[in-house]
């Protein structure tokens, strides 16, 4: 499949899983109606917790749970590839989760899982502090999955700041980036980082962000976007819950890589 349509979904998720899934279902339906064959949900799409420990209370075992069932059913119902943002999964510690991004094919079968590697332990502003490592157990595996839509690398939010992660994704053509980027950091760095990852890897980047005010007091940046391998922003959404779509042309990407073979000129390999 050399040419097809991709959708990135933006949400402003709240503290009620059922309500968030209802909104996600509506937006997935909209994306499918727009002809999208591959759909990406944002980080924490099912729950933007009032307190980090709330994620531990709803964490799911691999292959079993209402959020996983929801993703599988949506993918199968609309016959789409679905990158399921992140959801809280069981960790080795009883007091932590894995922030897992699950990928489903168009039959509803889970075909890959990426556990967020880089955890957001920062002070974004004098009164805005985050420490994901208190309740999240970091992953340690770089994930690339072969799909009918191309070779897809998965990263989540804060991962975006670590270019070496993407360099370790061998042979990727596409990058899915579910996120909940803060308003403070997003204003300064979101677009420039996304476009940099697209340009240096000559890849399409599908960045699905949370975008708005949340009942837990957080404000996320929004500006979900789809960027082509030359760094051109094909489409973007400022704030609120909605869908953006763009067409991917893998033949055009291959032609670009042929005429501008920067990836072949690399001297330092990971």
pLDDT at 248 over 90: yes
Supply the pTM of this predicted model. Answer: 0.97
pLDDT at 194 over 70: yes
What average pLDDT score do residues 209-234 get? 96
What average pLDDT score do residues 85-111 get? 98
Domain ranges for the chain, please list them: 3-265
What average pLDDT score do residues 83-105 get? 98
Alpha-carbon distance of 81 to 37, in angstroms, equals 6
How much is the pLDDT for 52? 86
User: Of 228, 237, 192, whose CA–CA distance to 8 is shortest?
Assistant: 237
pLDDT at 111 over 70: yes
Alpha-carbon distance of 256 to 186, in angstroms, equals 29
How much is the pLDDT for 74? 98
> Could you tell me the pLDDT band of residue 125, with boundaries at 50, 70 and 90?
confident
pLDDT at 1 over 80: no
Least confident of 13-17, 52-56, 66-70, 173-177: 52-56
Alpha-carbon distance of 34 to 28, in angstroms, equals 10
How much is the pLDDT for 268? 84
> Could you tell me the pLDDT band of residue 270, with boundaries at 50, 70 and 90?
low
How much is the pLDDT for 2? 87
Alpha-carbon distance of 28 to 41, in angstroms, equals 9
How much is the pLDDT for 106? 98
What average pLDDT score do residues 242-268 get? 96
Any idea which residues carry the catalytic annotation?
43, 116, 157
User: Of 99, 124, 209, 106, whose CA–CA distance to 160 is shortest?
Assistant: 209
> Could you tell me the pLDDT band of residue 147, with boundaries at 50, 70 and 90?
very high
Query: Which CATH number describes the domain made up of 3-265?
Result: 3.60.110.10
> Could you tell me the pLDDT band of residue 126, with boundaries at 50, 70 and 90?
confident
**CA 58 to the chain's CA centroid:** 20
Helix count and strand count (H, E) for the chain: 7, 17
- The 3 state secondary structure assigned to 172-227 is CCEEEEEECCEHHHHHHHHHHHHHHHHHHHCCEEEEEEEEEECCCCCEEECCEEEE
How much is the pLDDT for 127? 84
The pLDDT tens digits of the residues spanning 73-83 come to: 999 999 999 99
């Amino acid at each position: 499949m050399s040419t097809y349509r991709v959708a990135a979904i933006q949400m402003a998720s709240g503290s009620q899983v059922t309500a968030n899934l209802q909104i996600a279902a509506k937006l997935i339906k909209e994306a499918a109606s727009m002809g999208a064959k591959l759909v990406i949900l944002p980080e924490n799409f099912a729950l933007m917790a009032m307190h980090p420990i709330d994620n531990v209370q709803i964490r799911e075992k691999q292959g079993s749970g209402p959020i996983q069932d929801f993703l599988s059913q949506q993918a199968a119902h609309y016959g789409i590839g679905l990158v399921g943002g992140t959801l809280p999964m069981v960790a080795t510690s009883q007091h932590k989760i894995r922030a897992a991004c699950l990928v489903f094919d168009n039959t509803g079968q889970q075909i890959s899982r990426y556990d967020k590697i880089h955890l957001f332990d920062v002070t974004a502003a004098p009164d805005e502090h985050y420490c994901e490592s208190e309740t999240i157990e970091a992953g340690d595996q770089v994930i690339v999955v072969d799909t009918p839509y191309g070779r897809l690398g998965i990263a989540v939010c804060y991962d975006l700041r670590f270019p070496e992660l993407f360099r370790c994704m061998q042979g990727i053509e596409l990058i899915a980036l579910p996120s909940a980027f803060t308003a403070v950091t997003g204003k300064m760095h979101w677009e420039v980082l996304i476009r940099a990852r697209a340009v240096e890897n000559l890849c399409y980047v599908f960045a699905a962000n949370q975008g708005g005010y949340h009942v837990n007091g957080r404000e996320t940046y929004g500006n979900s976007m789809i960027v082509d391998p030359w760094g051109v922003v094909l489409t973007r959404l400022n704030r609120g819950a909605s869908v953006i779509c763009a067409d991917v042309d893998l033949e055009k990407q291959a032609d670009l890589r042929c005429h501008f073979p920067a990836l072949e000129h690399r001297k330092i390999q990971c």
